[in-house]
Amino acid sequence: MRKSSYNKRIIIFFFLYVFSCTQEKHNEAENANSYNFHVNYLKDFFVCDTILLNIPNFVELNHVKSACILYDQRLLLAETKSSQLFLFDSTGNFISTLGMKGQGPEEFFRPWHIAANRQHIVIGDFHNRRISVFDSDLNFLQSFQVSHMIHDLILTEGDTLIIHDHETARLLNKESIYVYSVKGELKCKLGGPFELGYKLRHIPFRPQGPLLTKLGKFLFEMDYPDYKIKKYALNECKFLKILSHKPSGWKSLLDFNYQKLKPPKVVDQATLKKLDTFFNDFFQYSMVQWIASVEPGYLVYNVQTDKKVQFIVFSNSGSFITDNLVPAPGSYDYKSDTFLAIKPHGFGLIRKKVDPFGYTVEMKVITFRKLRLPD
């Protein structure tokens, strides 16, 4: 009897051992799939190209907020201070200027976003709350007003225009995605609400770029500051699911005690000092700046504080790839360099040199549009 009991114990122990080994190997395989790129630097992870812009003396490029690589590889930049667009060829030679500050046809007031397909180029005029439509040669076709703000634009090959308004959605807890035809007919509304963003609505978030991108038939919206990516089916105009990943090594706004900030009754030196301390602490927490898509079907989003920048990569199915990507040492200067999403896909580093008067005298656009796949 004792021998039989002893044999049973041996058999149970054997199966437990085999199961634990199998589970360990499965976990190792899962981790290998999640971290199948063993590099840390952007230049090793992405195929990159550098365009050195030849900037004429009369061109000001001090406040570039949006960039778009057109289908013939020309580069179109939106400059918000002068409210103009600047067109360069694929080698960086200046071609022409488009628009001026104003409210008339072919005039802009802070053009923040550009989108393009093979037939049309669309400009989001932020302060005029207007969409201006041009043909592929930048001949003006039409414009139409919108009732919401314009924080991003996507233009599909089928001439469907998607406008993102994350700020109003966060402040009023409402829809954030508006789907139009290129002629201005509203088709449907999607997106929102931003749960944590609404709670933090009294704190001024200022992402550097778009929080919406497109991969195939799907839209991906960054629900900042919650590290949630919402996936939508564009053709059916419906929400599908939430993807989520909190970057490692960061202080998240999810952990921030936003209740510390209360509207002061009296503004005195003590209150100002308290507010200064509060915001210094606040900006040590990670901020999502933009989300973009890169070939051949990956999502990249950028988080940063005032002293640190990092990139997180997902597959097109939402599988987590890596969150440890950073610029190589010495390759990024916080004072002169800006990372931003570049349409229709990819992102870039804009590096500029300024003269003693603060004017840009040289600019490089380093683009990251394709992932280096492992052999």
Q: How far is the C-alpha of 14 from the C-alpha of 29, rounded, in Å?
A: 23
pLDDT tens for each residue of 257-304: 655 555 556 667 777 776 677 666 665 666 778 899 999 889 998 887
Q: How far is the C-alpha of 170 from the C-alpha of 197, rounded, in Å?
A: 6
Q: Which long-range contacts (CB under 8 A, 24 or more apart) does 86-91 make?
A: 86/59, 86/61, 87/138, 88/51, 88/53, 88/54, 90/51, 91/51
Q: 348 lies in a domain?
A: yes
Residue whose entry in the numeric block shows the structure tokens 């360990």: 24
Q: 17 lies in a domain?
A: no
pLDDT tens for each residue of 223-268: 776 678 889 999 999 999 988 776 666 666 556 665 555 555 666 7
Average pLDDT over residues 49-70: 88
Q: 194 lies in a domain?
A: yes
DSSP 54: B
Total domains in the chain come to 1
* CATH number (domain holding residue 348): 2.120.10.30
Structural domain range at position 339: 35-250+286-371
pLDDT at 15 over 80: no
Question: Would you state the pLDDT for residue 69?
Answer: 93
Question: Would you state the pLDDT for residue 223?
Answer: 78
Question: Would you state the pLDDT for residue 270?
Answer: 75
Find, among 150, 155, 121, the residue nearest to 138 by Cα: 121
Question: Would you state the pLDDT for residue 39?
Answer: 55
Average pLDDT over residues 166-194: 87
Q: 264 lies in a domain?
A: no
Q: 188 lies in a domain?
A: yes
* Helical ranges in 115-210 per DSSP H: 166-172, 195-199
Amino acid at 159: D
Q: How far is the C-alpha of 320 from the C-alpha of 339, rounded, in Å?
A: 22
Q: How far is the C-alpha of 95 from the C-alpha of 115, rounded, in Å?
A: 19
Lowest mean pLDDT among 94-103, 116-125, 175-184, 207-216: 207-216
Going by pLDDT thresholds of 50, 70 and 90, the confidence category of residue 336 is confident
Evaluate whether 294 touches 347 at the Cβ level (below 8 Å).
yes
Across the strands, what pairs with 143? 132
Find, among 325, 326, 319, the residue nearest to 229 by Cα: 319
Question: Would you state the pLDDT for residue 130?
Answer: 94
What the block records as the tokens of 258 is: 């936003």
Average pLDDT over residues 63-74: 90
Q: How far is the C-alpha of 306 from the C-alpha of 372, rounded, in Å?
A: 29
Q: 266 lies in a domain?
A: no
Q: 5 lies in a domain?
A: no
Q: How far is the C-alpha of 156 from the C-alpha of 312, rounded, in Å?
A: 25
Going by pLDDT thresholds of 50, 70 and 90, the confidence category of residue 3 is very low
Going by pLDDT thresholds of 50, 70 and 90, the confidence category of residue 360 is confident
Q: 275 lies in a domain?
A: no
Counting residues of the chain whose pLDDT is more than 70, the rounded percentage is: 75
Instruction: Pick the more confident residue, 246 or 316.
Output: 316
pLDDT at 368 over 60: yes
Question: Would you state the pLDDT for residue 329?
Answer: 83
Going by pLDDT thresholds of 50, 70 and 90, the confidence category of residue 1 is very low
Look over the chain and give the mean of its residue pLDDT values, rounded to a whole number.
79
What the block records as the tokens of 105 is: 């046809």
Residue whose entry in the numeric block shows the structure tokens 């414009």: 143
User: Against a cut of 0.85, is the pTM above it?
Assistant: no
pLDDT tens for each residue of 25-34: 333 333 333 4
